[in-house]
Amino acid sequence: SSELTQDPAVSVALGQTVRLTCQGDILRSESASWYQQKPGQAPLLVIYGRNNRPSGIPDRFSGSTSGDTASLTISGAQADDEADYYCNSRDNNENHVVFGGGTKLTVL
Amino acid sequence: QVQLLESGPGLVKPSQTLSLTCTVSVGSITSGAYYWSWIRQRPGKGLDWIGSIHYSGSAFYNASLRSRASLSVDTSKSQFSLKLTAVTAADTAVYYCARGGAYDCSRGACYTPFDSWGQGTLVSVSS
């Protein structure tokens, strides 16, 4: 299956650590990327590959993968981190790019 | 950092063809091995990948849209384009162009993230 499954909504207290997950069989053979999207804005790449951050992304964002599940961890969540987060990867068998359904992160 | 800008009509009638162009600047569409992609987001929904194209013309599509979507590239203008035929209200969305989704590798096309995005353009399908 080419699907990537994410929790629809997650909340975290300000300053606490939160882990968002993305599950799918394709993650056993391909890496995941993570995007942050705020209302009215284009998505922004925050994590890619094993655990790489593009220039300008705070180091409180980190990524990991175990088996069929990729995780995005935000250590010390800030109010500015409140956004929708999407995972993304590729089904190499089907030559198909896939997005997860997204997780709405609320910072309390 | 490469910059991308979508352009095209904001309103399309049902059954007609949606046509959008993405102009790549501060960088060239022929530099590197990147594919260039279209992604859409229906109102209040998640991201849907439409398809990706290399400047050589090699392209691949979301299977659910393959019969209606067509990508092309104009290297002289550093642009790539999307045509989506027989549109319905379900095609109303913000359409983004982006760099990535794949890059040209020894195995053909290998995964790479979408590292640069256009601002998006809203296309409404309505009579």
Mind giving me the DSSP string for A97-108?
EEE---EEEEE-
The answer to whether A92 contacts B120, with C-beta atoms less than 8 Å apart, is no
> What is the rounded average pLDDT for all residues in chain B?
95
User: Shortest Cα distance from B88 to chain A (angstroms)?
Assistant: 22
Percent of chain B predicted with pLDDT > 70: 100
pLDDT confidence of residue A1: 67
- Under the banding of pLDDT at 50, 70 and 90, the label for residue B106 is confident
What mean pLDDT is predicted for residues A63-68?
Answer: 96
Q: What is the mean pLDDT of chain A?
A: 96
More confident site: B78 or B108? B78
Q: Is the pLDDT of residue B107 over 80?
A: no
Give per-residue pLDDT as tens, B39-76. 999 999 999 999 999 999 999 999 999 999 999 999 99
| Inter-chain touch B60–A95, beta carbons under 8 Å | yes
Contacts with A89 from chain B: Cβ below 8 Å: 111
- pLDDT band (50, 70, 90) for residue B1: confident
| CB half-sphere exposure, B2, CA atoms < 13 A | 23
Task: Inspect the interface and report whether the beta carbons of B114 and A35 lie closer than 8 Å.
Answer: yes
Contacts of B118 in chain A (CB under 8 A): 42
* pLDDT score, position A51: 95
Say if residue A94's pLDDT is above 90. Answer: no
Determine how β-strand B69-74 pairs with β-strand B47-54.
unpaired
pLDDT at B5: 98
pLDDT greater than 90 at residue A50: no
When pLDDT is averaged across residues B71-90 and rounded to a whole number, the result is 97
How open is the CA angle A37-A59-A90, to the nearest 5 degrees? Answer: 50
Neighbouring C-alpha atoms within 13 Å toward the C-beta of A82: 11
Residues of A in contact with B4 (CB under 8 A): none
How would you classify the pairing of strands B79-84 and B116-117?
unpaired
Q: What percent of chain B lies above the pLDDT cut of 90?
A: 87
Closest partner residue to B120 (CB to CB) among A42, A49, A98 is: A42
How many Cβ atoms are within 10 Å of B117's Cβ, its own excluded? 23
Using CB atoms, pick whichever of B47, B52, B63 lies closest to residue A43: B47
Confidence of residue A95 (pLDDT cuts 50, 70, 90): confident
Residue in B92, B70, B59, B78 with CA at minimum distance from that of residue B19 = B70
3-state secondary structure A17-72: CEEEEEECHHHHCCCCEEEEECCCCCCEEEEECCCECCCCCCCCEEEEEECCEEEE
